Each structure stands twice: as structure tokens, then as C-alpha cells.
Structure 1
């Protein structure tokens, strides 16, 4: 069978976009937005991918000449949709851990205008121990600061060489927070003040919000897709038809970045707040509230959760009683969106792995669920199911085994790797074997994420009780027990 590079070729346009991250969301949402604009000759540029971490490699991208196929399937406008199309707008993929000079060379490209990132919620974090002279710096903000400094030096501080940065990480005001990390690192690294001035005057950090459920593709399904395509593709990316990339930016950005319009997931807004609250709290919050317990209860896919009446009821009651009431939108609109979300979760065409959703779940719980918990307490309500979700998070992040420096949890006979920041993994290693009460208190006290929860009445007590019930009775029984709880303090 032919390879994808035997059938398609790259667009070979000048690189105007550097993208930190090579994950499925970027491949299924961001690249299609650029591809559509390139196909319609509205945007004449290509994308260069930069690997943001030292884990894994870019072998598949390099072997396939950075070509891959996107498959979107599900329902759109009440009709079944199953479409496939190639992505040909990626020019190259650079691993700075293997070729640091190639990474810096991207910063010197005269046509470069935009930087995009998706490094998970844990990616936009200031690491004061990061080093300017590392090749590359460890953190994503460190890499970006070094990248911008290279461009600043090469251009001799030219105002024409400033960049527009569009982070897509699911954190509040991602553009503002990334800019703050960059400027603070510049200060920590004692970089000259004119560089900071150059960033302030010529670089624009825009907050954005993305939404598309992307499941990837199982190894079992790949041969049938290859048969359909007529070629092999190791990077096939499968997602749902619904897509959203909301960009809060001044008008001049939309003029230089014409990737919006009919059929595109991208659009520009004046204020991202209502879109952010709706998506992060209802969709992502629903995921994070449901998934750890569901995995421990034996489920592997999101749609399997929706096929289980007990889990679906837990999700519905959590959304309707503990999340939707506190989203700053008309109640009817927020409630309708939550019902749409449940239909999207049940998409029979998507194999959305629960373990993928669980990556970096401590930061996700803080961003997606903590605001709803605090809002519930402010009005005298006890968000009983969200408290349970915190216990389920800790149950999922319980060390069962350690191999070659990696921590693994256990579900029955299955061991699964725990993906988190080094600080959280050290805390899990030290405390997850303690009593339920001690583990909950250790996380609240030492994680650096949940200080607000320590003073909330009954939170630690109930979370510890839920964790103990999960340990003794299993996640399914514990979830069922808490589903019908009343939300009164």
C-alpha cells in the first residue's frame, strides 16, 4: 500500500506559524483551520511544529513529511457526517531536544508572524529554576522566552519583527498568563530591559479558547481507514464535527490572520469570558468530574460512560445542580449546552480514551471544577458530587507501583502510568499510601493548588470519607452512593 507522502505533498509556503505542541487537539482543530484558509488562498503560509517536551519523538511526522489525515465523524445539523481530508500545511517538525539550532533558526525566519501553543494546563507555569543557557530551557514559557530573545537579537529589536502569540491551553486568560511568565523569566534571567520593552510594544499575547473532542484512532481501526484512504498514515487523527477556536484579539489580528469564516472553527471575539465559562466549566468540568471515577469503575471510553445509566445520572445531576447554576450565562442557555455536551460525549463514532483525559488532572481539577465548588459554597450549597470528584482524583492518583522512576496506579490487574508534574508525582509517591484523611490533607496542604479548599466547611472530611468508600467498596458503588446526595450544608 502507498504511504501518504506518495499521494500528497506539502504546500511549500513560507513558515508564518510556529506551533508548540504536536498533540491531537492541535492536529484536529488548529491545522484544519489553517488548511482551509490555505486551500481557499486566504492565508499563504505554513506551520512549523516544535516539540514542547523531551518525552517521545517526532519520528512519524518526519517519516510522513509532516502530512497526515483528519477524520471528523458524528452528527452535524442532525445528519450523520464522516469526512476525511489531508493536512498539507505543516512544513516541518522540530525537536529542540535533538536539534536546538533548528529551533532557534525558526525564530530568525523573516516571514514568521504567529506562535500557537497547546502544552496542557500544566504547561503555562513559571519555573524560576529554568535556565536561559539550557538547550533547550525546560519549561514551555522558558522555551518561548528564549525563542523571542533570539528573534529580538537577530532583528536588532525591529518593531516589524514582533509576533502574535495565541496559546490554546485551557486556563483562565491564557494569553495574559503566558505573557506574565515570559516577562518574569526575562527578569529572572537578567535580560536587558529593551528586550522587555520590545515584547511589550511589538508582541501581542491573545487569549483564546478551543473546543473539539478528539479521540484519536485505535490500532485495530487503522487498517480499515487506510483501505478507505488508499494509503497508510500513522498520524490519522479522529475527532467530532463540532469545533471552536475563539480568539480574543484586536481587529488588526483578524486582518493578518484570515482563518475565520464559513466552515472554519476559528472566529474572533471582543470578550472571551462567556465562551470560556461555558466551555471550561460545563464540558471540561463534566469530563474531569466524571472520568477518574469512571475509569476506576471499569470504563475505558467516554461513550461507555454515557451508556452506563448510573454514570450518566451522576454526570447529569452534577452538571444541572453543581455546575450550570454558576455559569455566568442565561440559565436556559447553559442548561441547553450541558444537554448538548452529553450528546457529544455519547458520540458512537469516537473512542475517547479516559486515560487521555486524566493526564495532568490536578491542574485540570483546579481550572475546571474549583470555581464551581467555590461558587457553591458562597451561596450556602454543598457541592457533594464535585467533592466526590476530588476524592476520585486522589483515588486515581494512588501509587501502586514504581518502575524506572515512573509511577503507576492500578485498576484490577491493570497498571496505568500516572502523568503529572514532578511536584505532584512526588506528593503522590509520598502520601497516597497514607490513610484517606491524611492523603486528602496532604494534597490540600502541599500541592500548591488547593489552598482555598482547606478552610471550606466539611470539604476535607467529606472528601476523605469518599476516598475511603472508594477504597473499600469500589468507585462504582461510591459514585452511586453520592449521586442522590442533597446539596445542603
Structure 2
């Protein structure tokens, strides 16, 4: 079978972006956006992709002239999307360890304007043992500090040669934290006040939020997809059509990075928080608030939950309580909610409900509790469906069977593993009671180590959760959901 580069030619463009990381997400989202900008004629730039870790290789990239296929599959605006596009936006791939000199020369590249990174959540870290003399330094912030110093030195501190820095690691305030690490390295390595001033004044560190599911190489269906494509592609990457990139910066960077003109949802803002709240409260909140009830009601896959009218109705009512708590225009929030529902319906992704159930206590605190508290403040009473989701969480965790690192629950005759922090699992193993439900609920709700406050102090919360939980124990989850809809 032919290879992708037997049929498609590499496109030469100036290198304007350097990207730390060659993984599925960056290829399935960031490089896609840049590729579309090139295609639309609003940008003319390729990316130098840097492999920032010492193990692995870039053999597939070299063999395919850095070309690869992105397959976007899912549901969008009411229609099924199954799109295959060849991405031509990689100009170079460089191993920072085995090709250090090639990598280091990029610091002197006049056309370079932007740095993107995805080095995992643990990548933005400071290690006082890291050394400037290493080629390259071990940490990502260490690598970037040395790279910026080389650029500062080569261009003699030219203010125009600062870079736009866009980390997409999934941590809050990713740009701010990266900048803080770099300043620490400047001080640790005694790189000088002039360099520090150049970094702070002439480089733009942006906080970002990204949202697209990228599942990567489709091992089980790759050969079939190659037949459809008419060529072999060892870098084939699969993702959903939905994509959101929110970029928060103190100054307008769209003249150098006009990705909002691609037709994709790229938002430039001076305040990321409402967009993060929207994602956490609606997308993540819908997951956390629904999947535990859905599992106990008999569903295993998110897509099947959306086809189950009882569970879908519950989720939509839950979202109906959450939406008013998001501080963005209502039409924007509704549109995002509609897109989330379509993402959950994706016919190409089997998203396991049990996989989402991991660490649900901390997830409820982070994803549901802020909306729960804001809703009470807005309407002056308990939000019914969010309160029920707390009872569903307790029902899912209801077991005294602690085996190793997991609590073992029962769904009918089936066993399932409950995975969470040890202290949480031990709490349920020691306190679970289907007889004295109100005491059980009160102990859980009032545990400030779990919630950061005493939830039992919210008027009617313990009695309402107890009512819901008793119904689940007595009549099963499906009947409890039916009763909930009748009470609404």
C-alpha cells in the first residue's frame, strides 16, 4: 500500500511556531487549527515540532515528510461528521536531546513568533537540580528558559524578538505558572536582570483553555481506514469535530496569531475564568452529575445514556439548574450546552461511564458544588437535580467491601470497582448504612475534609438527600429517577 507522502507533497512555509510535544492532542487540535489558518490564507506559517523527552523517536514523522491524516468523527450541528484531512503544517520535527544543535538554532530564527506546549500536567514544574549547562535542561520550563536566553543573546535584547507563549497543559493559570518557573530559573542560574526584564516585558505569556477529545491512533480500525484513505499513515490521529481554544492575554496577539479567523472556536479574551467555569460546570458537571446515577440505572456507555430517555431527561434538567450559574451570555451558554449533548452522542466513541466515575467525590466538589452554591444564592432553595446527584454519588459509593485500593460496589449481581482517595473509601467502608440513612448522609455531608465546608448546614440538605437515597436503596435508581421527575 502507498504511503501518505506518495500522494501528498510537503508544503514549505516559514517556521513561525515552535511546539514542545508531538503527541495526539497537539496533532489533533493545535496543528489542525494552524493548518486551517494556512488553508484559508489568513496565516502563512509552519511549526517546528520538538520532542521534549529523552525516550521515543520521530521515525514515523521523518518517514512521512511530517505529513499525517486527522480524522474528525462525531456529531455536530445535528449531522454526523466523518472528515479526513491531511495536515501539512509541520515544517520540522526535532529531537531536543539527539538533535540539540538543530533545536538550539531555532532561537536565532527571525520568523519565529509563537511557542506552544503540551508537556502533560506535570510538565510545568520547577526543579532546583535542573542545570543550564545541560543540553537540554531536564524540565520544560528549564528548556524554555535556556532557549529564551539564547534568543535574547543572539538578538541583543531586541524587544521585537520576544515570543508569544501558549502552554495548553491542563492546569489552571498555565501561562502564569510557566512564567513563574522561568523567573525562578533565571534567578537560580544567575542569567541577569536585563534578561529577566526582557522576558517579562517583551514576551507574552498566555493562560489558555483547550477542549477537544482526541483518541489518537485507531489501532482496532486502522487497516480499514487505510483502505478508505487509499494509503497507509502510521501517524493517523482521530478526534471529535468539536474544538475550543480560549486564549487569555494582556495584549492583543491576533495580528501575529489570527487563529480566530479559521472558522474554529478560538476565543481571545482578557478573562479566561467564565469560559473555564462554563466548561467545568456544564461539560464536566454533566458528566459527574449524571454518570453515577446512569451506571446504577443500567447504562455503561455515555452515548447509550443519551439514548435512554429517563437518563437524558435527568441530565437536561440538571443542566437547566447549572446554566443560570455561568457568567456568560445565556445564548452562548445554551449553544455550548447543545454542543456538549452532541459530543455525548458521538457514535464513534465508546466513553465508559465507569472511567468517568473515578475520584467522584473531589469531582463533585470541583464541578457541581460551585453551581450548587450559586444556585442556592440565586433561587433561595436547594437545586433539586444537583441535590439528587449528591444522593446518587452516595448510592454509587455505598459499600463496606474494601478490597485493596478499591471499594467494591454491586449493581444487581454485577460487581464494580469504586476508585478514589484512600480516606474516602475508608469512610464509606466504615460508615455505610442502608438502615440509618440520615446519620450516614449527615456524616458525609458534614465532613469538611471532603468539601472544605459543612454541607449539612444548608437548610434541608441532609433531609432531602436522605429522602432521595432511601428511595434509591428501596426502589432502585430507575424508579428513583422517575419519582424525581414527578416531584419536579
- Shared fold (TM-score greater than 0.5)? yes
Partner of 2:49: 49
Shift of 1:52: 6.1
* 3-state SS, counterpart of residue 268 of structure 1: strand
Deviations 1:357-390 (A, max 9, x none): 6799888766544532443465565542454586
What's the counterpart of residue 436 of structure 2? none
In structure 2, the partner of 1:334 is 333
Assess if the C-alpha contact under 8 Å between 1:20 and 1:116 holds in 2: yes
- What value does the CA root-mean-square deviation take over the aligned residues? 5.0
How has the CA–CA distance of structure 1 residues 331 and 43 changed in structure 2, closer, same or farther, with 3 Å as cutoff? closer
- Identify the residue that residue 150 of structure 1 maps to in structure 2: 147
Cα distance in 1 between the residues matched to 2:407 and 2:87: 36
3-state SS, counterpart of residue 155 of structure 1 = helix
The 1-side partners of 2:454 and 2:311 are apart by 28
Structure 2 CA distance for aligned equivalents of residues 72 and 263 of structure 1: 15
Corresponding residue of 2:131: 133
After TM superposition, give the deviation of residue 229 of structure 1 in Å: 0.7
Aligned pairs for 1:24-39 (under 5 A) are: 24-39=24-39
Give the alignment partner of residue 384 of structure 1, picking from 387, 407, 414: 387
Q: 1:181 to 1:144 in 2, by over 3 A?
A: closer
Output one character per residue of 1:436-464: Cα deviation in whole Å (capped at 9) or x when no partner.
468998xx888xxx6634677479x97xx
Distance in 2 between the 1:161 and 1:309 partners? 57
Q: Which residue of 2 aligns with 1:371?
A: 370
Gaps of 5+ in 1: 419-424
Secondary structure in 2 aligned to 1:256? Answer: coil
Distance 1:23 1:304 in 2: 29
Alignment length (residue pairs): 457
Aligned to 1:26, the other structure's residue is in SS state helix
Q: Secondary structure at the match of 1:319?
A: helix
Residue 186 of structure 2 corresponds to residue 183 of structure 1: no
- Aligned-partner SS, 2:254: helix
The Cα shift of 1:33 comes to 1.4
Contact 1:33 1:265 survives alignment (8 Å): no
- Please tell me whether the aligned partners of residues 208 and 246 of structure 1 are also in contact (alpha carbons under 8 angstroms): yes
- Cα drift, residue 230 of structure 1: 0.5
Mapped to 2, the partners of 1:236 and 1:202 lie a distance apart of 38
Matched residues in 1 for 2:277 and 2:238: separation? 26
The secondary structure found in structure 1 opposite 2:253 is helix
Give the distance between the partners of 2:43 and 2:240, measured in 1 at CA: 25
TM-score between the two structures when normalised by the length of structure 1: 0.72
- Number of the residue aligned with 1:164: 164
Match of 1:72? 72
Alignment of 1:3-402 (within 5 A): 3-50=3-50, 60-61=60-61, 64-94=64-94, 99=98, 101=100, 105=104, 108-110=107-109, 111-119=111-119, 122-123=121-122, 127=125, 129=127, 131-133=129-131, 142-156=139-153, 158=157, 159-169=159-169, 171-184=171-184, 186-187=186-187, 192-216=192-216, 218-249=218-249, 253-261=253-261, 263-269=263-269, 271-291=271-291, 301-321=301-321, 323-331=322-330, 334-335=333-334, 337-352=336-351, 368-376=367-375, 378=377, 381-382=381-382, 383-385=386-388, 387=390
Any idea what the Cα deviations from partners look like across 1:408-457, whole Å, max 9, x if unmatched? Answer: 999968999x8xxxxxx9xx46764564468998xx888xxx66346774
- Higher Rg: 2
Distance 1:14 1:393 in 2: 54
Asked if the contact 1:314–1:483 (Cα under 8 Å) also holds between the matched residues in 2, the reply is: no
Cα 1:267–1:326 change in 2 (3 A) is closer
DSSP 3-state at the match of 2:255: helix
Is this contact kept in 1: 2:245–2:266, CA < 8 A?
A: yes
Bigger drift between 20-29 and 58-67 goes to: 58-67
C-alpha separation in 2, matches of 1:399 and 1:57: 42
Q: Do the aligned partners of 1:165 and 1:205 also contact (CA within 8 Å) in 2?
A: yes
Once residues 148 and 221 of structure 1 are traced to their aligned partners in structure 2, the CA distance between those partners, rounded to angstroms, is: 42
